């Protein structure tokens, strides 16, 4: 006797669950067949069928609850699901305890187990499968539960109720047919049509949910792009000096290290300049810190205007000190660049009455150069050598350039030629560059002769 006829309408799309559901239907039908064939509830075949049905139900429910837990299904649904599982076990135990008092135990199975299976599979189990599918598409457990619950409108609930009643009627008619009472076959067609209608409604609701998920995904992608752009902006801000608008110390450390590695890999020279504003503390004490900030901005803009070659890198090292990284530039090219810097800063003609070096703001420049591909000079050593050269420039009167001469013995005679520095920019060209950055440059040249303190010292 077939108490329940399995169809693909009961499928959830989860392989383990569907296989165990098929087995559950098979065991329910075998129990019905044992009751009809044996006629006595004390037969060993009937007891064996009851035992197998209960054992499989308990094992299946344990697997299903473990699946929900591992998938992270919402706690509210898991509680409803566990309650439904416990309900079926209680029904099976109740049928077994009252088997001797039932006038027709087989009919009891039809009346109790078949409607439970239909309602549970098409309702709770389908909801579980939908939630797991939504979570795999990126929804949270709470959101998946709410979306699945929203599909259970009054029409769906009425459909499930009708299906339960229709399937119960079908099961009773099927039992009557098995016992020789073949009548009213139209119930089968009605039940099948109801199942098709339910499937159509569920498919339509799935389409609506998928569209909502697609819109939600697109919204999240837009938000992620905006967040990425904001993070990049924050990264750029973190690498830029807020006052001068050039790279800061952290950015310099990273860039200088990268250029040193490239110079070592390609066997090219690498030069470093350290620039210090002469008597800048006196300037601040005399003219005030706002004037000092403006002075530093003009100096940074002038140095950046000179460092126009690809790879040249200007950064604020700290306080009134700037650094310039010159890739593929030898010591002479770096010294020439340092002399350009000194002349351009003097040409801006920022008055400095408290300076011992000149009547205008001047800078001192220390230069170091290394060949990482041929010598063992390190990043720290190049930096220290530029600092020593700067100290020498300041101790020898300031407003000059001094170079640290590296011992280059053992370097091959045929090393790659360093690119020469370009010619010195004209004052008019530099003026246009500075004005483009918001600074005004005096149109008059220094009236005094560039001798004494205003001349750039030798290497």
Active site residues per annotation: 320
Q: What region does 184 belong to: left with phi over 0, alpha with psi -120 to 50, or beta?
A: left
> What SS3 class is residue 377?
coil
Phi/psi for 403 (5° steps) reads: -115, 145
Integer Cα distance of 436 and 304 in angstroms: 12
Integer Cα distance of 114 and 164 in angstroms: 8
Integer Cα distance of 439 and 305 in angstroms: 12
Q: Check if the beta carbon of residue 226 is closer than 8 Å to that of residue 188.
A: no
Q: Check if the beta carbon of residue 240 is closer than 8 Å to that of residue 248.
A: yes
Count of other CB atoms within 10 angstroms of residue 280: 20
Query: Whose structure tokens read 């389409």?
Result: 207
Integer Cα distance of 325 and 365 in angstroms: 13
Count of other CB atoms within 10 angstroms of residue 13: 11
Task: Report the sign of the C-alpha dihedral through residues 40, 44, 47, 52, in that order.
Answer: negative
> What SS3 class is residue 188?
helix
Tokens read off for 32: 């019905």
If you write DSSP's letter for every residue of 63-113 in order, what string do you get?
HHHHHHHHHT--HHHHHHHHHHHHHHHHHHHHHHHTTTT-S-HHHHHHHHH
Integer Cα distance of 130 and 136 in angstroms: 10
Q: How long is the chain?
A: 459
Phi/psi for 316 (5° steps) reads: -90, 120
Q: Check if the beta carbon of residue 60 is closer than 8 Å to that of residue 24.
A: yes
């Amino acid at each position: 006797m077939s108490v329940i006829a399995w169809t693909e309408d009961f499928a959830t799309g989860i392989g383990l669950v569907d296989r165990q559901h098929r087995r559950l239907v098979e065991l329910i039908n075998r129990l019905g067949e044992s009751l009809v064939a044996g006629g006595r509830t004390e037969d060993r075949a009937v007891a064996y069928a009851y035992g197998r049905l209960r054992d499989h139900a308990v094992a299946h429910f344990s697997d299903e609850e473990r699946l929900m837990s591992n998938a992270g299904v919402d706690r509210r649904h898991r509680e409803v699901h566990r309650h439904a599982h416990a309900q079926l076990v209680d029904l099976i135990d109740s049928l077994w305890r009252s088997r001797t008092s039932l006038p027709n135990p087989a009919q009891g199975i039809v009346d109790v187990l078949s409607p439970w299976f239909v309602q549970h599979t098409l309702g709770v189990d389908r909801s579980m499968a939908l939630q797991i599918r939504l979570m795999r598409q990126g929804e949270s457990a709470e959101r998946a539960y709410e979306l699945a619950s929203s599909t259970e409108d009054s029409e769906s609930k009425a459909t499930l109720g009708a299906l339960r009643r229709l399937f119960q009627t079908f099961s009773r008619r099927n039992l009557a047919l098995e016992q020789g009472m073949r009548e009213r076959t139209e119930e089968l067609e009605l039940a099948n049509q109801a199942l098709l209608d339910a499937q159509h409604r569920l498919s339509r609701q799935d389409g609506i949910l998928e569209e909502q998920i697609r819109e939600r995904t697109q919204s999240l992608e837009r938000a992620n792009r905006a967040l990425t752009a904001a993070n990049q902006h924050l990264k750029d801000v973190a690498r830029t000096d807020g006052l001068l608008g050039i790279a800061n110390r952290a950015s310099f450390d990273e860039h200088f290290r990268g250029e040193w590695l490239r110079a070592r890999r390609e066997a090219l020279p690498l030069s470093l300049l350290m620039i210090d504003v002469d008597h800048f503390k006196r300037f601040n004490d005399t003219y005030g810190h706002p004037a000092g900030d403006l002075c530093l901005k003009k100096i940074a803009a002038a140095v950046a205007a000179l460092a126009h070659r690809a790879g040249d890198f200007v950064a604020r090292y700290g306080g009134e000190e700037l650094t310039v990284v010159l890739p593929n530039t030898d010591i002479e090219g770096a010294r020439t660049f340092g002399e350009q810097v000194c002349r351009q800063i003097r040409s801006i003609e920022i008055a400095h009455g408290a300076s011992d070096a000149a009547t205008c703001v001047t800078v001192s420049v220390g230069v170091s150069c290394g060949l990482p591909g041929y010598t063992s000079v390190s990043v720290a050593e190049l930096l220290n050598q530029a600092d020593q050269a700067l100290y020498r420039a300041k101790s020898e009167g300031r407003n000059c350039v001094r170079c640290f001469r590296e011992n280059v013995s053992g370097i091959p005679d045929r090393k790659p030629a360093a690119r020469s520095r370009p010619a010195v920019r004209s004052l008019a060209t530099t003026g246009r560059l500075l004005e483009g950055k918001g600074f005004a440059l005096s149109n008059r040249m220094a009236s005094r002769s560039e001798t004494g303190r205003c001349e750039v010292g030798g290497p």
